Amino acid sequence: MTSSKTIAFLGMGVMGGPMAGHLLNAGHRVTVWNRTRSRAENWATEYPGGTIADSAAEAAAGKELVLACLGNDDDVAGVVLGEAGVLAAMPKGATFIDHTTVSPALASRIAEEATELGLHAIDAPVSGGQAGAENGKLSIMCGGTEAAMAAATPVMEAYALRITHVGEAGAGQLAKAVNQVCIAGVLAGLSEGVRLAQANGLDLDKVFEAISGGAAQSWQMNNRWATMAKDEFDFGFAVDWMRKDLAIALSAAKEAGLPLPVTALVDQFYAEVQTMGGNRQDTSSLLRRFPRARPA
């Protein structure tokens, strides 16, 4: 195990809360902050031994590492950058790890400001959803310097199954965009497959048994086929967040001069799910966009 570190964790949502808990259980000294204080208080009740700060800057002051898992670009920039931001409150030589999925441009801006202040910074978006955070089995894709990775990796190991240094600042966010593009396409196909089976009156358990051991197998199939078959969509990563992430991917593709027609189409499918009230349902609720046909 790595030596005990003083750590601040910003953002006590369904991902950040369990991740901070793993850090505390690994023996680190953890201070947390959340914009809605009650969430931080709930975390402290669930994980005795941590402390709560009244502001993000207060949480970051004097810490060896500061980690964030917030909402979007505006949330992160407002908390992290500027004279009153988290980076300005951190001591020289400390490391900032951003687990939020944000634009590569913001990740690069954070890295630049961190360097000017004598800090390390890593953009480290995660994949694995709420279950991965709770089980400590997240996949983390990182952008930043080798020195930043050396400081961040031993701490991230508390909640990660896989940690990959993809490249320079912003590369982690670009890898996450690729990740979300791949997930969106799989879920679109999976939704159509489930509906096709239902429309023909097949036993969905038997279909799963037949196809999940072959080339159609995927994490989404293994973890969401059964719940999709029951129209259950309360399993973590929300449609609103997927649309935010796909917007980042589509923007990066546009800058590179690359059309992503399938991703653009699935993004519009998710927009339809939002109009149906599915904003906070998990991403497998894409199934709702495909009508259930009665068996012939």
DSSP secondary structure string, 161-173? EEEEEEESTTHHH
Per-residue pLDDT, 129: 87
User: Residues 183-202, buried b or exposed e (16+ Cβ, 10 A)?
Assistant: bbebbbbbbebbbebbeeee
As its CATH architecture, domain 174-289 has Orthogonal Bundle (1.10)
Q: What is the pLDDT of residue 2?
A: 66
Residue 295: pLDDT band with limits 50, 70, 90: low
Rounded CA-CA distance 102/242 in Å is 12
State what percent of residues in the chain have pLDDT above 70: 99
Start-to-end C-alpha separation, the chain: 60
pLDDT tens per residue across span 260-287: 999 999 999 999 999 999 999 999 999 9
Domain boundaries, the chain: 6-168, 174-289
Which pLDDT value is given to residue 293?
73
Summary mean pLDDT of the chain: 96
Token digits for 294?
């009665």
Which H or E run contains 39? helix 37-46
Q: How confident is the model at residue 138 (pLDDT cuts 50, 70, 90)?
A: very high
Selected catalytic residue, list 63, 92, 137, 176: 176
Q: Is 5 a catalytic residue?
A: no
pLDDT classification of 291: cutoffs 50, 70, 90:
confident
What share of the chain in percent tops pLDDT 90? 95
**For the whole prediction, is pTM greater than 0.85?**
yes
CATH of 6-168, one of 3.40.50.720, 3.40.190.10, 3.90.1150.10, 3.10.105.10: 3.40.50.720
Per-position DSSP letters for 182-199, written without gaps between them = HHHHHHHHHHHHHHHHHH
The pLDDT assigned to 232 comes to: 96
pLDDT tens profile 177-226: 999 999 999 999 999 999 999 999 999 999 999 999 999 999 999 999 99
If you average pLDDT over residues 108-117, what whole number do you get? 97
> Beta strands 160-167 and 138-143: pairing type?
parallel
Residue 1 has pLDDT above 90, yes or no: no
43-77 pLDDT, tens digit per residue, is 999 999 999 999 999 999 999 999 999 999 999 99
